[in-house]
Copies of this chain bind each other. A is one copy, B any other.
Amino acid sequence: MRIEAPPTERQREKPAGARRGLLIVHTGDGKGKSTAAFGLALRAHGRGRAVTIFQFMKVPSARFGEHRAFATLGVPIVGLGDGFSWKSRDLAHSAQLARDGWQRAAAAVASGAYFLVVLDELTYPLRYGWLPLADVLATLRARPRHTHVVVTGRGAPDELLELADTVTEFRKLKHHYDAGVPAQRGIED
């Protein structure tokens, strides 16, 4: 009897090309895009690799579950935003924060000091026009060969998807919010 194996087994059968730092994009309207990036950061850290996480829409003082756990592990997770929402009045300030934050994140990507750099929710400042897409693509394209980058967020631009090595679309098939169940501490934050 032969039955279909789990995908990880089948992937091991593939012919090997050269190992190199990957550009991985998590996009789509489903849950888990950032959470999966945190899981990657956890795994790389577990392998003793240098990891850093930048969050473009979170405030520097955010202390969600992931911030607490990464603090325990010693993995930096840096909020670059101002907790922007659709009620924000000072969009010029939000845009400036995004540009300042991008300078920091781009320097980390270019430094070669990291095995993995997570750029969480980077797609939003791109969509809002706060960051020039060409600059972001140029920085990603020019990164050191050993540096992996994960970009998360809805509506990733086509040019970013083209540049990426691996793209997963997170599709919402069902969501508890739609059944009236609110966000829950420890699950959503």
Contacts and interface: CB of A to CB of B under 8 A. Distances in A.
Given A165-B174, A166-B176, A169-B173, A66 B85 contact: no
A182 B19 contact: yes
Number of copies: 2
B168 A32 contact: yes
Nearest to A28: B171
Contacts of A70: 42, 46
Given A22-B181, A86-B9, A180-B15, A43 B186 contact: yes
Contacts of A161: 173-174
A116 interface: yes
A64 B46 contact: yes
A29 B7 contact: yes
A69 B70 CA distance: 10
A176 B22 contact: yes
A144 to B, nearest CB: 15
A84 B5 contact: yes
A91 B38 CA distance: 34
A133 interface: no
Give me the 7 closest cross-chain CB pairs, A-B, nearest first: A17-B180, A46-B69, A46-B65, A43-B65, A35-B39, A46-B68, A5-B86
24 contacts: A5-B86, A6-B57, A6-B124, A6-B154, A14-B180, A17-B180, A19-B181, A19-B184, A30-B169, A31-B166, A32-B170, A35-B39, A38-B43, A42-B42, A42-B66, A42-B70, A43-B66, A43-B187, A46-B65, A47-B68, A47-B185, A69-B73, A164-B174, A168-B170
